[in-house]
Amino acid sequence: MRYMNRLNKDCMGAALVSALGAVVLVLGLTYEPGTLRQMGAGFLPIVFGVLMIAVGLVIGLTAVLAQAPPVDRETPAPAGSEAQWRGWACIIGGVLAFVVFGRFGGFVPAAFLSVFVAALGDRENSVRSAAGLAAVVDVFSIAIFHYGLHVQLALFQWG
C-alpha cells in the first residue's frame, strides 16, 4: 500500500512539473528567443520549460520503473516534516538571497549566497561543505554567465 501511495505521489509530481514546464514553454514562445550570444526575452523561459518537461518525464519514468521495496511493518515512518520544511525554507531563501544580493551586491555575492543558503537545506551538509559548494558553483557561474554568455549583471555592485 505504501508503494502505491508513493507511486501515485511521484506520478502526480511528475505530471505537475511537466504541465508547469509546458505552460512556461508555451508562454516563452510568445517572446523573441534570440541566440545564445544575444538572448531574447523568450530564451530562458523556453529552455526552462523544456528542462522542466524533461525532469517531469524522468521523475515519472523512474516512479513507474522502480520496483516495490519490501514493506517492513516494524520500521517507523521517517520524521520528514521538519526536514521538508527546512529544505523548502532554504530553497526559497536561496532564491530570495539571489534577488536581494543580485540587486545590491552583484552577481558574485548573489550566486554564492544563493547556493550556500540552498545547500543548508540538506541536513547532511555542514556550513563548511555548503560554503565549498557555493564557491565552486560561483566560479563556474562567473565563467559561464559573465564571460561566456555576457549576462548583463555586474560582478560586484554596491547599492
What pTM did the predictor assign? 0.53
Amino acid at 12: M
Contacts of 145 (CB under 8 A, 6+ apart): 107, 151, 153
Number of domains forming the structure of the chain: 2
Indicate whether 71 belongs to any domain: no
What grid cell was written down for 77?
Answer: 515512518
Q: Looking at residue 7, what is its pLDDT?
A: 62
Q: Looking at residue 116, what is its pLDDT?
A: 93
d(CA 113, CA 119): 10
Which residue stretches of the chain have pLDDT < 50?
A: 1, 77
Residue 142 belongs to domain spanning: 81-148
- Hey, what's the torsion of the CAs at 159, 128, 117, 112, to 10 degrees? 40
Indicate whether 159 belongs to any domain: no
Query: Are 7 and 51 in the same domain?
Result: yes
Query: Are 50 and 98 in the same domain?
Result: no
- At residue 34, what are phi and psi to the nearest 5 degrees? 75, -155
Q: Looking at residue 1, what is its pLDDT?
A: 47
Query: Are 137 and 110 in the same domain?
Result: yes
Q: Looking at residue 67, what is its pLDDT?
A: 57
- Hey, what's the torsion of the CAs at 34, 39, 44, 46, to 10 degrees? 10
Q: Looking at residue 111, what is its pLDDT?
A: 92
Q: Looking at residue 68, what is its pLDDT?
A: 55
Q: Looking at residue 156, what is its pLDDT?
A: 87
